[in-house]
Amino acid sequence: MENTQQRVGVIGGVRIPFCRNNTAYADVGNFGMSVKVLGALVERFGLHGVELGEVAMGAVIKHSSEWNLAREALLSSGLAPTTPGITTARACGTSLDNAIIIANKIAAGQIEAGIAGGSDTTSDVPIVYSQRLRKRLLAVNRAKTPMEKLKTAVRGFAFSELKPSFPGVAEPRTGMSMGDHCEKMAREWHVGREDQDRLALESHRKLAAAYDGGFFEDLVVPFRGLKRDGFLRPDTTMEKLAGLKPAFDKTSGLGTLTAGNSTGLSDGAAAVLLANEAWAAKRGLKIQAYVRDAEVAAVDFVHGEGLLMAPTVAVPRMLARHGLTLQDFDFYEIHEAFAAQVLCTLRAWESADYCKNRLGRDAPLGSIDPAKLNVHGSSLAVGHPFAATGARIVATLAKLLEQKGSGRGLISICTAGGMGVTAILER
């Protein structure tokens, strides 16, 4: 059978500044943020009235009315209304997953071009009724007569039923938060507080330098009075970070994760345009980088594996398909959900025992050059609106490769639920 696979190019991406929840975007919501980034992408690449093959957007925390956020947002973006839209969610990996969805469709020849992205807000969260009250209201709706409805409404009613339920941050299978799980990982891999704080400090310094150097001028669109990310602290120091109290393990005296070396609750959105070479050439658009491959993995965190360690499994699988080593990259974009997670990942790849017993390798993957890691900062300084992070990273890495002129970049994103989403871009 003839191989007709198309090369998939990253044309470019945009995002709004990410900010702390309940600040600049508190009243915007996922729809408003999604419309903003899609509209900005349309403006940047002249896509007014253009029909794309697919727009894949996502949100982790969203209202039931936003069941197809992607379709609704694209209808307000300036794209042709005949463009389809699909809405997805895989926690922190959502918009990298969407880039994979679009890339696979382009590679298979099903579409020529599409947009991948995501948004998330922890300011505008869905608040639901208690289970007892929901059942009561459904029963009232089923009742036939006004009297039956009244009796059903008041029979056995307790005011405690009115207590609302907010979205939880704990893993349903363990009852532990992501931070609690990451504390366990940090102890298992002997990752100390000072190393975590140092990585966080470097993230802020590198992001500030990138802004000052103009790197984000075409990647970040000002919105609601913000021109830079609201989490960025260029003046932070090791002393300031060391003064913060543990954020998760507050009682044992052993906690190392703090508000400074963990990502905060964030609002934001990002999107990236992908296309095959013919479509890009026809529209006079340059390709910044190409999507080489992607891999998703999961770990059994319920029975002892580290919740955020799945990228350590996904990356070597992907490397093996292409005969690559961990050192064969010019840039490494490892999502900083927590500084400890990044450091645990690096130590796992350096561990002969882990690589042999968990990954089935004869030798460790080895270490990476720290100068190539998150060179313009990452989530600790930028912020982490869950579904937006992947598109942010794809756009950043594609531009880095374009500026370099050639090379290869690795993306690694851990997610809730014990999963990891990874990809390779190259130029």
Q: Annotated active-site positions, please? A: 92, 384, 414
**Contact, 55 vs 39, CB < 8 A?**
no
Helix and strand numbers (H, E) in the chain are: 14, 10
Residues 219, 44: Cα–Cα separation, whole Å: 10
Q: Beta strand pairing status for 266-275 and 9-15?
A: antiparallel
CA separation (Å) from 217 to 117, 214, 271? Answer: 19, 5, 15
For the record, the structure tokens of 96 come out as 């990298």
DSSP per residue over 330-391, as a string? Answer: SEEEE--SBHHHHHHHHHHHH-HHHHHHTT--SS------GGGBSTT--HHHH---GGGHHH
Name the DSSP class of 246. Answer: B
Q: DSSP characters for 115-138? A: EEEEEE-SSS---B--HHHHHHHH
Residue 352 identity: A
- Residue 300 DSSP class: -
Q: Is residue 290 within a helix (H) or strand (E), and if so which, with residue range? A: strand 289-298
Give the CA-trace dihedral at 304, 307, 310, 313, to 10 degrees.
-30
| Those residues with Cβ within 8 angstroms of residue 150's Cβ, 6 or more apart along the chain or in another chain | none
- Give dist(CA 90, CA 120) in Å, integer: 12
Q: Is 102 helix (H, G, I), strand (E, B) or coil?
A: helix
